[in-house]
Structure 1
Amino acid sequence: MAHLRTSVWGPAEFVGVPPWWLMGEGLLVGVAATALIAGTTLLGAWTGRPSLADGEAGLVCAGALAVYLTLIGAGRALIGIAALLGVCLALQAPQAATGVVLAERGRVQPVVVTAVEDAGAAAGGRGRYLCSVADADGVPLKVRIWRGCGKTTRPGDALAVVDDPKGRIPPRGVQAGSGTAGALRDLAPWSAALVAGCMVAVVRSYRLSSSAGTAVPS
């Protein structure tokens, strides 16, 4: 049972409160993993590199985190939890990165609604409407807008969209609280959970034998 517990949850061979340096190491690993997963996606969105912007690089970083935790002897369950949290963060990061880029360099322009579709009803559900829109010159946008498009929206209504002057990110509807802080807000719970998961995994990977050195016979 002791061997099974060690394999699943890590050895945690310390008495009382974990050493401060060990907790610091865990915090560093968690923060670094979070920064890499979210940062590569943001870099991809900013520079227009699809392989980074789509979160693929973030998934690779989550896999690298799992490998690192395996190498230091973390418990299998904690490795799985940290890897799962890393994958969830990588999947959430593209939308947040898009919001950050549009908040920093996007420009707001008015558009006119040309058609409204109840996407929820089409899918057997409720709650989301998609608006086809055209710009001031009458040129239809290639994407449909759901932010700002609602049940009361009708063809001919005016909406505001924010687009990327460099054309690397498709336009989206303007919504209250859609600034940089609002775009990052959705990542905060996943980031905090990943940092905490990494801290626990690293702390519980501690083996007394790894730092005790050669025992002196008595």
Structure 2
Amino acid sequence: MQHLRGTVWGPAEFVGLPPRWLVAEGILVAILGVVAIIGTSLFGAWTGRPSLADGEGGLVCAAAVGLYLSLVRAGRALVGVAVLLGACLALQAPQAAAGLVLAERGQTRSVVVMSVEEGRTSDGGHVLHLCSVRDPDGVPLEARIWRGCGRATRPGDALTVVYDPRGAVPPRGAEPDAGIPGAARDLAPWAAVLGGVTLVAVVRSYRLTRLTLAVPGPTDGAATR
């Protein structure tokens, strides 16, 4: 049972508090993992690279964290939880990264609603209203807007959207709580939990190195020569 617990949750073969260098290693791995997952999506959104902006780079970084934990022989359960949390953070990061880009260099303009459709969130829970809009020159926007588009919105109404002049991220409806604080608030819980699990996994991966010394006995050839 002790071997099974060590395999699943990590051996943690230290007495008392873990060594400081081990805690420092766990903190470093946790910070690098979280920064890499979020940073790849932010870099992709800022530069307009879809392969990174869509979260694919973040998924690779999450797999890299899992690979490192496997190499240090961390507990299998903690490795699995870390990879799962990393994947969830990688999938949440693109929307937050797009919000950060729009908060930093986005500009606002008024658009006109052409049609309104009802939809649901990915989990099938909340009802969303999606507005197809056009700019004042009559050119339709490819992205449909749901922020600011509600039940009372009708064709011909005016909406305020935030758009990226470089076109790296799609426009979205303007909201009072949008921006850097809102994006950070969305990612903070996932990042904190992932960092904590990674730290625990690294600390519990510690193993003692045992050396067996052979002491010659009275009947040993070397002793009775």
Pick the TM interval, shorter chain.
Answer: over 0.9
> TM-score normalized by structure 2?
0.90
Q: What runs of 5+ residues in structure 1 fail to find an aligned partner?
A: none
SS in 2 for 1:207: coil
**Quick one: distance in 1 between partners of 2:22 and 2:213?**
25
User: 1:186 aligns to what SS in structure 2?
Assistant: helix
CA 1:217–1:124 in structure 2 vs 1: closer, same or farther (change >3 Å)? closer
Deviations 1:10-37 (A, max 9, x none): 1100112222221121111101000000
Q: Structure 2: how far apart are the matches of 1:71 and 1:134? A: 53
1:15-164 mapped onto 2 (5 Å cutoff): 15-120=15-120, 127-164=127-164
Which residue is equivalent to 2:178? Answer: 178
Q: Which has the larger radius of gyration?
A: 2
Q: Percent identity?
A: 63
Residues in 1 aligned to 2:68 and 2:84: alpha-carbon distance in whole angstroms: 14
By how many angstroms is 1:127 displaced? 2.4
Q: Secondary structure at the match of 2:127?
A: coil
The CA distance in 1 between the partners of 2:48 and 2:137, in whole Å, is 26
Moved over 2 A (4+): 123-127, 214-218
- What residue in structure 2 maps to residue 190 of structure 1? 190
Counterpart amino acid of residue 156 in structure 1: G
Question: Where does the alignment leave 5 or more consecutive residues of structure 2 unmatched?
Answer: 216-225
Q: Equivalents in 1 of 2:117, 2:201: separation in Å?
A: 47
Q: Does 1:167 align with 2:144?
A: no
Q: How far did 1:206 drift?
A: 0.4
Query: CA shift at 1:173, angstroms?
Result: 0.5
Tell me what 2:11 maps to. Answer: 11
Query: Match of 1:12, as an amino acid?
Result: A
Distance 1:21 1:124, change over 3 A: closer
Report the number of matched residues: 213
| 1:176 partner letter | P
Matched AA of 1:13: E
The RMSD of aligned alpha carbons is 1.8
Aligned equivalent of 2:220: none
- Judged with a 3 Å threshold, the aligned counterparts in structure 2 of structure 1 residues 124 and 182 are, in CA distance, closer, same or farther, namely closer
